[in-house]
Amino acid sequence: MFALVANQKVVIDWPCFWVVLGGSFLPRGVYTVLLFKMQFMLLFSRQGKLRLQKWYVPLSDKEKKKITRELVQTVLARKPKMCSFLEWRDLKIVYKRYASLYFCCAIEDQDNELITLEIIHRYVELLDKYFGSVCELDIIFNFEKAYFILDEFLLGGEAQETSKKNVLKAIEQADLLQENIDFQMRLFAAPS
């Protein structure tokens, strides 16, 4: 067992090591570990309506609103053919538009933008699998599920589980537990 630290060289001396998000095996050797910590994730519509926000750094509500307003305006002002990465303050902003929603993440300056794009894409895939072709209305009316899926996937701004199957299994188990609790509450509720 060892702890991975960003930009640290790691010697892999067992037969193979599963590469996070890459889905491939590496042979024995020395590799540089590229980890990242997301600062926050925002989901907003083309009209600029915030649909979901997850903050992994402590900020005041006033600062969060200011950041959200600035970023939404900045991203919406960009043309579709422009790059999905931009430098903003001391952070890198990585965003991707899926249908009518923008998924926007802030990462540290030295973090990898392509991994962040991959994480955004994996989150969209998870939402698609759960909702069956996710749309903005699914996020609006089931925002607690969207947050739960995000929490199963990312913990503290870092990917905690990269397997879609494992994340969906955990969500399915939570849904079954909730249905069980709801059933028991109805069953044992006092008649009025």
Q: What pLDDT score does 190 carry? A: 61
Whole-number CA gyration radius for the chain: 19
Q: What pLDDT score does 78 carry? A: 94
Please state whether the predicted TM-score (pTM) of the whole model is above 0.85: no
Cβ neighbours for 79, distance < 8 A, ≥ 6 positions apart:
none
Q: What pLDDT score does 23 carry? A: 47
If you write DSSP's letter for every residue of the chain in order, what string do you get? -----TT-EEEE-SS-EEPTTT--EE-SEEEE-----EEEEEEEETT--EEEEEESS---HHHHHHHHHHHHHHHHHS-TTS-SEEEETTEEEEEEEETTEEEEEEEETTS-HHHHHHHHHHHHHHHHHHHTS--HHHHHHTHHHHHHHHHHHEETTEES---HHHHHHHHHHHHHHHHHHHHHHHHHPPP-
Q: What pLDDT score does 148 carry? A: 92
Q: What pLDDT score does 2 carry? A: 40
Rounded mean pLDDT for each run of 10 residues along the chain, 192 residues in total:
45 43 51 67 96 94 96 94 92 94 94 93 94 91 93 87 87 90 82 64
Q: What pLDDT score does 3 carry? A: 44
| Cβ pair 17, 26 in contact under 8 A | yes
The DSSP bridge pattern shows strands 38-45 and 50-55 to be antiparallel
Mean pLDDT across the chain, nearest whole number?
83
Q: What pLDDT score does 121 carry? A: 95
